[in-house]
Amino acid sequence: MKLSYQSRITGSAFLMLVVMVLILFALFFPRTDRTVKVMDLLFVLDITQSMDVKDVELNGETVSRLTWAKDYTKKTLQKLPCGSHVGLAAFSESRSLVLMNPVEVCASYNDLTHMLSKIHGSIAWALSSEVSKAVFGAIDQAKLMTPSPDVVFLTDGHEAPPLHDSLYPKYKKKFDGVTGIFVGVGGDELLPIPKHKFDGTADGFWEQNEVLHEDVYASLRSESEEMRAARPKNEHLSSQKKTHIERLAKMLNFDTVLSPEESNAVIDALENKVETRDQVVNYNWAPWFASIALFLLVLLYLPFRFIRS
């Protein structure tokens, strides 16, 4: 049906009036209190050198595990409800170092993403990678905070030096309500681990004779030389250690999300795992009103055939 010139003018005027009302609402409509379920989280990123292996896809490109982990963390922050509090930490050696105490995710989003961009392998303070002990340390750090955040630990699970089953570490303290999620990062294929100088510049790859292929106490056990010689010597190569991550998760009563494609996977796992709390937030309706006004302006001014006819 073709509209007359007068009808089009009247319709355009009416739409402009609606747009003006919506803009006034966006500017002056009062905020309202809403009760939402929020989380308190501590994201811990593995910054050991195995996380520099490039074997994961991001926007069609093959990138390092750490680059992927940072991008995934950022996308997860965007999905969290306002009122949630998030802290950031980095793991190297056997420690998880808190870089930013939990802050409100919406009001402090720029601060969080800026800190996230500064996390990279060159800030690591040691070359070893004791994942198990670092998770224990993250739990201990979380228990010192009020309210205690749950832990989101992003890692490829690579322990260096490797662990022996008889020396597998155990967390012997109380959890005090702290739980968490392991996010597994990396592919299944063993690939060379990049080596870096202390200033962060690339220095080739680790060679087989430059790393330990058995735990530091191996020589003290009553094992034959044949048994020790038969062990694979591939610790200079790395893949995602899914079995190790799942074993740690079972011991700590954590959940695992291995190689997730969407940030919703971790959000869903967190909602089913961690204890949420009710938070009254001062909700701003301006984005809704402004979005509807913008949509109407697009309908009004873009020369679509079905609008002009």
pLDDT attached to residue 221: 64
Q: What is the pLDDT of residue 224?
A: 67
pLDDT value at 251 more than 80:
yes
Please provide the CATH number assigned to the domain covering 32-283. 3.40.50.410
Does residue 307 register a pLDDT over 50?
no
Q: Are 247 and 264 in contact (CB under 8 A)?
A: no
DSSP bridge pairs for 104:
85
Residue entry with tokens 């020589």: 219
**Cα gap 189→202, rounded to integer Å:** 22
- Indicate if the pLDDT at residue 181 is higher than 70: yes
CA–CA distance, 241 with 247 (Å, rounded to integer): 10
> In this predicted structure, what is the pLDDT of residue 304?
52
Residue of 117, 120, 114, 85 whose CA lies nearest to 200: 120
Reading the block at residue 128, the tokens are 């070893």
The pair phi, psi for residue 72, each rounded to 5°, is: -65, -40
Q: What is the pLDDT of residue 162?
A: 84
Separation CA 288–CA 19 (nearest Å): 12
Task: Give yes or no for a contact between 125 and 89, defined as CB atoms under 8 angstroms apart.
Answer: no
Determine what percent of the chain falls in helix, strand and coil, rounding each to the nearest 5: 40, 25, 35
**pLDDT tens track for 281-293:** 777 888 889 999 8
List, for residues 66-121, the tens digit of each pLDDT value.
999 999 999 999 999 888 999 999 999 999 999 999 999 999 999 999 999 999 98
Domain boundaries, the chain: 5-31+284-308, 32-283
Instruction: Write down the pLDDT at residue 219.
Output: 59
Greatest Cα pair distance in the chain: 97
Measured distance CA(65)–CA(14) in Å, rounded: 53
pLDDT of 306 > 60? The answer is: no
Q: pLDDT, tens digit, for every residue of 4-55?
A: 777 777 878 888 899 899 999 889 888 887 788 899 999 999 999 999 999 9
Comparison of pLDDT for 8 and 182, the residue scoring more? 182
Which pTM does this prediction carry? 0.81
- Burial class for 28, CB neighbours closer than 10 Å (0-12, 13-18, 19+): exposed
Q: At a CB cut-off of 8 Å and minimum separation 6, what does 58 contact?
A: 67, 68, 71
More confident of the two residues 234 and 198: 234
In 29-108, which residue ranges form alpha helices assigned H by DSSP?
A: 65-79
Q: Under a CB-based contact definition with an 8 Å cutoff, are residues 46 and 131 in contact?
A: yes
The interaxial angle of helices 65-79 and 109-117, nearest 10 deg, is 180
Residue of 275 and 243 predicted with greater confidence: 243
pLDDT single digits (tens) 109-166: 999 999 999 999 888 888 889 999 999 999 999 999 999 999 999 999 999 888 877 7
pLDDT at 301 over 80: no
User: β-strand 255-258 against 180-184: which pairing, if any?
Assistant: parallel
Read off the pLDDT of residues 195-229 as tens digits, 9 standing for 90 and up: 987 777 888 999 999 888 877 666 556 666 777 67
The pLDDT of residue 109: 96
Higher-pLDDT residue of 262 and 99 is 99
